[in-house]
Amino acid sequence: METIPTNEERLAKLEGMGCSRKRYEDPRFIQGKGNYVDDVKMPGMLVGVMVRSPYAHARIKSIDTSRALAHPGVYAVLTAEDLKPLKLHWMPTLAGDVQAVLADGKVSFQNQEVAFVVAEDRYIAADAAELVEVEYDELPAVVDPMKALFPDAPIIREDIQDSKVGAHGVRTHPNHIFTWDIGDKDKTDRAFDNAEITVKQDMIYQRVHPCPLETCGCVASYDKIRGDLTVYITSQAPHVVRTVVGMLSSIPESKIRIISPDIGGGFGNKVGIYPGYVCAIVASIVLGRPVKWIESRTENLTTTAFARDYHMTGELAADKDGKIKALRVHVTADHGAFDACADPSKWPAGMFHVVTGSYDIPNAFVSVDGIYTNKCPGGVSYRCSFRVTEAVYLIERMVDVLAQKLGIDKAEIRFRNFLRKDQFPYQSALGLEFDSGDYEPALRKGLAAIDYPAMRAEQAAMRADPTSETLMGIGICTFTEIVGAGPSKSCDILGIGMFDSCEIRVHPDGSAIARMGTISQGQGHQTTYAQIIASEAGIPASLIKVEEGDTSTAPYGLGTYGSRSTPVAGAAIARASHKIREKARKIAAHLLEVSPDDLEFDLDRFVVKGAPDQAKTMKEVAWAAYNNVPEGMEMGLEAVDYYDPPNFTYPFGAYLCVLDVNRFSGETKVRRFYALDDCGTRINPMIIEGQIHGGLTEGFAVAMGQQLTYDEAGNVLGGTLMDYFLPTSMETPHWETDFTVTPSPHHPIGAKGVAESPHVGSIPCFTAAMVDAFAHLGVTHMNMPHNSFRVWQQSHALGIDQ
């Protein structure tokens, strides 16, 4: 007789939520068996290479493609003139602007796409690209968004120079894109007028780049006979790509198949649509052959979506005890030559209005001006949900500035202003509803973990010792994130609401296949999604195959960015699982000849209430679904769910950093970094920890070294990994992680996103620690990146470098 497994055995077999299940993906990745876009090889495949502008701003006098075309092995050279009859020389951007696919009469940033050479292989294409002769007339360039608004500034966008209204309202200068205001200006101004104390701080959040290990690329294949277009692409949102390609090409979406295979990191860089994709698709349609286009590292760093470039001024009004009364913010946002920012259509500064942070701030007003400059377009959020990094950076900096002005401890000022647990759901002054949070215990845990009083005492002793080479800084960041875009009423891309989806089909043997509208780029969805189904539908995770990224099989979804997969697709998965479970309940009831209400779901089976030996497992039910269902019921066991979330989720954390700074050399050592995260219900603790390590490392990179620098003429100075800082294990500090659990009240399993929190939270924490090292000398802010040279400059300016 079969022995019934114990509860523990059944639970272990399920590998459901809460279990640190090993990543299903890793065996293929660590054995080099991943399948990336550049691994796709098709018979007859050609390769395209871009000809790019050496100038940041120039008129194109002529383009001569004849020598390139005559080169053996070259099949085509596309220029704007070739795209014009197809109306594809410009394309719409996600921000309601247009962007040149291939330069139309002028170039507006260095390395802008000018021509596309298609040849037998990459070498031939690269050689022929050198033979394309472009005659330029250089124009003055402007790379500083403040100077771009000068009356005599060079006009970047001649195509729209006379239009007084853009996608987000009134434009006040040919280089001005929009002004976006939110909050109550009058009330906020009054609070400032009546305040006991006010502080003001300028800060620059430098231009950085997500720099995924795999660059962007695609293989487009048009089948002339069938009229089908297949595109393998490094996209974080394959369904959106399908819709956009359909709009641009007039091919019905039913004949377009977009496949995102394994992706070697996205970090926001793979959200947008780039000219290379359009050119590869056009070339394939024209030539009837598959065309591959893969960027080089420099192309990736200098022409695809950058992040940040926010020039911010923050002001706080408070009383003498440090209780904050109002926040006022102005941002000058450098969007580059075309407004290609990836944000929900209605919010040109994304979710920047989470800027009131973890604090109860009754009045707030924010104004953001978007500006064109002769720099690369983009403006994605690099590991942060739509401008949340910038917002959190600003408020965390401002709270510290206020604390310093009042002489209040930087932890204490947070305790005085935190939202209390009983204030949730909390309506912020900028119109958001924070779903849940419990900030005070998180910070208390963090302070205890690093023994904060002891650290402050050590710092005081060092400061008192004139011979000490080391300045010690302690940084605190108590951030609130906003992830899970989002309710379709406030978030859409090109008019499509930001819902997400899941489809589950249970096979007769009790195993299952599940497909979602999201796409993993390394987050481990194949592992964790199966865990949600395991817990919610009672099918062991090891028996569930999770598929994403193929638009011909996956249900429509908006993709993976903004840590939305768990908050949105995760909810769809839970709800589809519940639908499976409820149908299974009816089948089990039929098999056991009881009413469905008499059954209790118990891990992997239905048990008759009060008669525990009478049960049907999900496996037995799955079999019955295909041969013995109740009268009138459809056969089969499958479910689909499209989930439009009622709200965002608001993960939070308390981070602490202890830095030792050498005042002679500017060298910095991270002594401690403690990160406590709360992402509600935790699906896979090990994956969460991995995500946090990754996000912290990228935060360290941004704070300490990353910057896309441009000279006055618009030349990019950081276009290779020699100049652009990508930390290796050698530079990366040791991370200490911790957690609390405050479930989201509106999410079916209480889960919030986590992947971006460590990035959002760590960057201000590093700056806070850096500034704290110099705070006793009157320093209130230091702009990133905090590399040794810049830190030494600070030391030197204070006269303490020797």
Residues in touch with ligand MCN (CB under 6 A): 212, 265-268, 383, 521-525, 528, 560-566, 679-684, 687-688, 691, 694, 751-756
DSSP state for residue 487 in the 8-state scheme? -
Q: Which is nearer to ligand MCN, 112 or 566 (CB)?
A: 566
Binding site for ligand CUN (CB under 6 A): 236, 266-268, 380-385, 561-562, 756
If DSSP states are collapsed to H, E and C, what string results for 49-98? EEEECCCCCEEEEEEECHHHHHCCCEEEEECHHHHHHHCCCEEECCCCCE
Picked from ligand CUN, ligand MCN, none, the partner binding residue 356 (CB below 5 to 8 A depending on kind) is: none
With H, G, I as helix, E, B as strand and everything else as coil, classify residue 504. Answer: strand
Q: Which residues are 136's β-sheet partners?
A: 60
Residue count of the chain, please give it: 802
Give the tokens for residue 401.
Answer: 């500035």
Please identify which residue in the block is written with the tokens 């859409």. 492
Picked from ligand MCN, ligand CUN, none, the partner binding residue 579 (CB below 5 to 8 A depending on kind) is: none
CB of 481 to ligand MCN, least distance (A): 10
Q: How many CB atoms lie within 10 A of CB 552?
A: 12
Picked from ligand CUN, ligand MCN, none, the partner binding residue 353 (CB below 5 to 8 A depending on kind) is: none
Picked from ligand MCN, ligand CUN, none, the partner binding residue 265 (CB below 5 to 8 A depending on kind) is: ligand MCN
CB of 604 to ligand MCN, least distance (A): 21
Q: Is 384 a catalytic residue?
A: yes
Q: Is 427 a catalytic residue?
A: no
Q: Which is nearer to ligand MCN, 249 or 566 (CB)?
A: 566
**Whole-angstrom Cα distance, residue 731 to residue 728?**
6
CB of 385 to ligand MCN, least distance (A): 7
CB of 703 to ligand CUN, least distance (A): 17
Give the tokens for residue 759.
Answer: 């990035």
Picked from ligand MCN, ligand CUN, none, the partner binding residue 537 (CB below 5 to 8 A depending on kind) is: none
Q: How many CB atoms lie within 10 A of CB 410?
A: 22
Q: Which is nearer to ligand MCN, 629 or 755 (CB)?
A: 755
Q: How many CB atoms lie within 10 A of CB 119?
A: 24
Closest CA to 373 of 783, 53, 784, 712: 712
**Whole-angstrom Cα distance, residue 563 to residue 543?**
26
Q: Is 99 a catalytic residue?
A: no
CB of 7 to ligand CUN, least distance (A): 39
Residue nearest to ligand MCN (CB): 522
Angle between helix axes 388-406 and 410-417 (nearest 10 degrees) is 110
What residues contact 623, with CB distance under 8 A and at least 6 apart?
508, 509, 510
CB of 279 to ligand MCN, least distance (A): 25
Half-sphere exposure in the Cβ direction for 394 (13 Å, CA): 30
Our CA dihedral for 629, 633, 638, 644, rounded to 10 degrees, sits at -150
Angle among Cα 273, 277, 281 to the nearest 5 degrees reads 130
Q: Which is nearer to ligand CUN, 237 or 534 (CB)?
A: 237
| Candidates 236, 459, 521, 707; catalytic one | 236
Q: 355, 313 in Cβ contact below 8 A?
A: no
Give the tokens for residue 46.
Answer: 């050609």
Q: Which is nearer to ligand MCN, 349 or 751 (CB)?
A: 751
Q: 623, 509 in Cβ contact below 8 A?
A: yes
Give the tokens for residue 748.
Answer: 């079916």
CB of 517 to ligand MCN, least distance (A): 12
| Candidates 207, 289, 383, 790; catalytic one | 383
Q: Which is nearer to ligand MCN, 687 or 702 (CB)?
A: 687
CB of 348 to ligand CUN, least distance (A): 16
Q: Which is nearer to ligand CUN, 384 or 544 (CB)?
A: 384
Picked from ligand CUN, ligand MCN, none, the partner binding residue 750 (CB below 5 to 8 A depending on kind) is: none
Return phi, psi of residue 357, to 5°: 65, -150
Picked from ligand MCN, ligand CUN, none, the partner binding residue 683 (CB below 5 to 8 A depending on kind) is: ligand MCN
| Candidates 756, 765, 790, 794; catalytic one | 756
| Greatest extent of the chain over all pairs of C-alpha atoms, in Å | 90
| Candidates 384, 477, 679, 765; catalytic one | 384
Picked from ligand CUN, ligand MCN, none, the partner binding residue 688 (CB below 5 to 8 A depending on kind) is: ligand MCN
**Whole-angstrom Cα distance, residue 277 to residue 220?**
8
Catalytically active residues are 236, 383-384, 756
